[in-house]
Amino acid sequence: MEANMEAKATRSRRMSAAILKSDRSGSSPIATVLLHAALIIGAVIMTAPFIWMILSSLKQFSQIFLIPPKWIPDPWEWGNYKKSWEALPFGRAYYNSFYIAFISVTCKLVTCSMAAYAFAKIRFPLREPIFILFLATMMVPHQVTIIPLYLMMKGIGWLDSHLALIVPASLLNAFGVFMLRQFIKSIPDELEEACIVDGANRWTIYWRIILPLIKPALAALAIFTFLSMWNNFFGPLIFLNSPDKFTVPLLLNLFRGMYITDWTLMMAGSAIAVIPVLIVYILGQRYIIEGVTLTGIKG
């Protein structure tokens, strides 16, 4: 079955390459130049804030708001990174963010994959209306539900606790269920029927058949979840009060004072905070593309 899925993915990539090749062969040189120019301009616009953050982290404080702006630091203040790391407990914040993201990723993969398997392969009454209602929760802004969620966390004593961040994010995620369901639906029903004939129960099919076949989609969901939890600022701002429990985004906010903000140290701290995000994206971009692409393949 894995070989069959890989063959389908290979055919899909070949078809896409053939379409792109035909498009390129039929396009004029001027159109190609304009297309590449537009892509380069878009790339520059997208990366300019990141480049500005890195360069600002190496400037002196007096150079931050110069008019006209001065892009290149003079002199290069490499000590800003050491000052930023020592000014606040970044080590503790890194640990908090890592273990919150890790637990959230693990729990979300389990809950979303089980729900996706049920919606994709198990027939039960009102399955489709329940799934549509489940997807409708994606249209509700998180800010709308934050007050009821806050009252719930207060009622069970989870305020100023990481459980208030981990549990709600792990139990319900309509996007993750939808993505995995579309992938599981591409698995032929005959495979599941053969397992049932051989005496396998639902748990065995889920654990030994479904999960190994949806590894690309699971990897993509894990990356999305890690990036979301690592960059989460709103949730920790609402639920956490103790500095020793702060995550990295919330800790960076402490650089903002009542009368002045140390922008050089904040930019240095932001550059330090973005390192895990870049590593995860660079290592997992293949799984993101593959997982999202294969969800559209039908068995």
Q: 152-173 pLDDT, tens per residue?
A: 999 998 998 999 999 888 877 8
Q: Are 295 and 182 in contact (CB under 8 A)?
A: yes
Identify the pLDDT of residue 151.
Answer: 93
What's the average model confidence in pLDDT over 66-84? 84
What's the average model confidence in pLDDT over 71-99? 86
Is 135 exposed, middle or buried, given 0-12, 13-18 or 19+ CB atoms closer than 10 A? middle
What's the average model confidence in pLDDT over 76-101? 87
What's the average model confidence in pLDDT over 103-112? 92
Please count the CA atoms within 13 angstroms of the CA of 87 that sit on its side-chain side.
Answer: 18
Identify the pLDDT of residue 16.
Answer: 53
Q: Are 113 and 210 in contact (CB under 8 A)?
A: yes
The lowest-confidence range among 9-13, 113-117, 124-128, 294-298 is 294-298
Identify the pLDDT of residue 258.
Answer: 52
Residue 290 pLDDT greater than 80, yes or no: no
Peptide bond into 212 cis (omega under 30): no
pLDDT tens track for 39-53 = 999 988 988 888 888
From CA 70, how far away is CA 52, in angstroms rounded? 10
Return left, alpha or beta for 146; rule: phi > 0 is left, psi -120 to 50 is alpha, else beta. alpha
What is the pLDDT confidence band of residue 288, given thresholds at 50, 70 and 90?
low
The pTM of this model reads 0.76
Identify the pLDDT of residue 74.
Answer: 81
Residue 15 pLDDT greater than 70, yes or no: no
What's the average model confidence in pLDDT over 87-97? 87
H or E, element range at 22: helix 2-26
What is the pLDDT confidence band of residue 239, given thresholds at 50, 70 and 90?
very high
CB atoms within 10 A of CB 6: 11
What's the average model confidence in pLDDT over 184-212? 87
Helix axes 90-121, 263-294, angle to 10 degrees: 20
What's the average model confidence in pLDDT over 11-22? 53
Mean pLDDT, the chain, rounded, equals 82
Name the more confident of 63 and 110.
110
Is 68 exposed, middle or buried, given 0-12, 13-18 or 19+ CB atoms closer than 10 A? exposed
Name the more confident of 178 and 19.
178
Q: Which residues contact 276 (CB under 8 A, 6 or more apart)?
A: 98, 230
Q: Are 213 and 113 in contact (CB under 8 A)?
A: no
Identify the pLDDT of residue 186.
Answer: 85
From CA 251, how far away is CA 242, in angstroms rounded? 11
Q: Indicate the CATH number for domain 87-294.
A: 1.10.3720.10
Name 261's bridge partners.
256
